[in-house]
Structure 1
C-alpha cells in the first residue's frame, strides 16, 4: 500500500528520490491484469499531448460505448485551484457528441478515499486524465478508493484515456515525475498507475525535441519498454495489441530496430536505438515487435 501515514509517505518519497535506481517502477498494486502488458479488459487510449483531433475523441467515445456513455474527466494534473464542469476537455467531449460528461477532481487524498468521491467513477464507462504535471495525480489518488475505481473501469471493459501528463501516468515507471521540473526524467515520483505494465511513457516528443530523453530512464531500468508519443497522436491498447492513431508519430524504445522498408539500423549509437510508428501501425506488446503483416502488407511502400 502506497499511502499509510504521513511519516512513512515522507520516508518512502525521500528514499525514492535519493536512490532512483532502487525505486519500484513495476509496482502496480491495483492492477488486476496478470497475463498481458495492457489491460485484459477494456482499452487504453494514450495521447502525447495537445489533443485536437476529432478522430481521437471519437475513438474514446466509441470504445466507451457511444454518445450516452459516462465519461469522467480528471483535470487534477493541471494544478488550478478549482475546476468546473465546463473544463476544456469536458467541453471538447461534448462538442464531439458525448452526452454524459462529468468533471471529477480533488487534490486531497483523504477526499479521494471516500465513497462519496467515487460515486460517479463507479458508474463510469471511461476516465480521461488531462494534462499538467503527472505527480499531482499520484499525490491526489495513489492508494485511494479513487485509484481502485479507475482500475475497475478497465476491469468492466471501459476506457482509461489521457493526454500529456495523463499519458505518462499510465506507465508503471513515471517519466518526468519530479516536483521541481518536467525536464527531470527520474524524479521524486517514479511509480505510475501501471495500466501499461513494465513501461515508461513520454509525450510531446517531437515538438519538444525529446527523442533521446527516454534513455535516461532506460539506462537505469533497461527492461522497460519506452514509448514516446508526439502531440495529437495516440496509441490504443487492449491486451498485447497496440495501434497508432493520429497525425504524427510514436517512438518505440524496445532495444531493437524496425524500419518501414526493412533496411538500416542505428549505426554509430547501437545502444540508443529507437524507431517510429505512424497511424495504422500495430505493435505486439508481448513480443515487443511490430506486426508487419498487418502494418504494411509486406513492406509494400
Structure 2
C-alpha cells in the first residue's frame, strides 16, 4: 500500500472519533439496504438525461412536488435560486423548486433554515466535494430533515459528489483532493447502508479505485456509476437507468452471456450493469430476467 494510502487509513480512524454522528445513530433500523420508504436516485455525474430528471420528478409525486436542490458541495461563495440544476428542473416542468444552501452548521441547525424541507418531496445534492456536505449538515436539524423526506416516501437524489454522500462510507471524502479514496471524511449520510459509491467511473478510468476502499472495509458493497447514468433504489431493489453503466463490486462476478470465465485477478472482481438491469441489494446478486440475457459486455 502506498504511503498516502497508509496515511489516509490513519486519518480515517481519526475521523471516526472526530465525527461521532455515525449513521447507525441517526438512521432507522430497517432491514433493507436502501430505504423502506421512498427512493434513491444516484447519478454518476454530468447529468444531462431528461429521462433521469423526469424519473426524480415522477417519484417525487409529479410536477407540483416540492423539490429542494442543495448545491453546497460545489464550494461557491454563495448560491441563489437560479442554480443550474434548479433551472433544469423548472425547464422540465417542475413548478416548486427551492435552492437551499449554507456552509455553517449553526445555520443548518435552525428551524428557519430547515423550514423548506418540512414539506419537501425530493432532495437533490449537486456535485463538487462531498465533504462540504458533511461539514455543513451532518448532525444538524437539516440532516434529520433530509432523512424525514425518505420517511414520507420522498426521494433523495444526487449527482457526482451528491451521489457519493448517499452511501454509508464516504468515497473520496478527503479535503486535500478527490484522488484519495479513504480520506479525512469517511462517513456519508447513509441512505444506502453498508455501501460506498463512486462516480465518473468510466470517463475517468476509475475501474479499480474502489478496491482501495474495500481493502479497508471489505464488508462494503461497492457501486461505481458512470456519467449520465443512475441507480434507482427502493428497499433492496436497484435498477440501472441512463446512457452507460454502473459497476458492481460485491466479491462475485456476473456475465451477461452466463459464462464465469477465467479471471486473471480473482481478488479484483467487478462487473457491469446497464440500463434496464436490476440488482438485489440484500442478496447481492443480479436479478436475472430476459433483459439481462443476450448482449455480451
Range into which the TM-score falls when normalised by the shorter chain:
over 0.9
Give per-residue Cα distances to partners, 1:262-283, cap 9 Å, x unaligned: 1134621000000000000000
Counterpart contact for 1:199–1:226, Cα < 8 Å: yes
Determine the C-alpha separation between the residues in 1 that align with 2:99 and 2:124.
Answer: 10
Q: Does residue 33 of structure 2 align to residue 37 of structure 1?
A: yes
Cα deviation 1:243-264 (Å, max 9, x = unaligned): 0000000000000000100113
Q: Specify which of 45, 48, 59 is matched with residue 49 of structure 1.
A: 45
Give me the whole-angstrom Cα distance separating, in 2, the residues matched to 1:170 and 1:117: 21
Corresponding residue for residue 216 of structure 2: 220
Matched-pair contact (CA < 8 Å) for 2:103–2:136: yes
Number of the residue aligned with 1:153: 149
2:64·2:94 contact (CA, 8 Å) conserved in 1? yes
Q: Post-superposition shift, 1:16?
A: 8.6
Q: CA deviation at 1:23?
A: 6.2
Aligned to 1:237: 233
The reply on whether 1:20 has 2:12 as its aligned counterpart is yes
Equivalence map 1:106-145=2 (5 Å): 106-145=102-141
Q: Residues 83-135 of structure 1: CA distance to partner in whole angstroms, max 9, x if unpaired?
A: 01000000000011100000000000000000000000011000000000000
Aligned: 1:246 with 2:238: no
Q: Work out whether residues 49 and 232 of structure 1, in 8 Å CA contact, stay in contact via their aligned partners in 2.
A: yes
Give TM-score, length-normalised by structure 1: 0.91
Give distance in 1, aligned partners of 2:115 and 2:272: 41
Shift in Å, 1:22: 7.6
CA 1:257–1:48 in structure 2 vs 1: closer, same or farther (change >3 Å)?
same
Query: Structure 1 residue 28: deviation in Å?
Result: 3.6
- Alignment partner, residue 75 of structure 1: 71
- Distance in 1 of aligned mates of 2:186 and 2:262: 29
Structure 1 equivalent of residue 254 of structure 2: 258
Mapped to 2, the partners of 1:189 and 1:65 lie a distance apart of 34
- Aligned-partner Cα distance in 2 for 1:243–1:124: 24
CA contact (8 A) 1:38 1:237 kept: yes
Report matched runs for 1:83-102 at 5 Å.
83-102=79-98
1:28/1:164 CA distance change after superposition, 3 Å: farther
Higher helix share: 2
Cα–Cα, structure 1 residues 23 and 180, in superposed 2: closer, same or farther, change >3 Å?
Answer: closer
CA RMSD of aligned residues (A): 1.7
TM-score under structure 2 normalisation?
Answer: 0.92
SS at match of 1:116: helix
Aligned to 1:205: 201
Unaligned runs of 5+ in 2: 1-6
Secondary structure of residue in 2 paired with 1:177: coil
Aligned to 2:3: none
**2:262, 2:212 → 1: CA distance?**
18
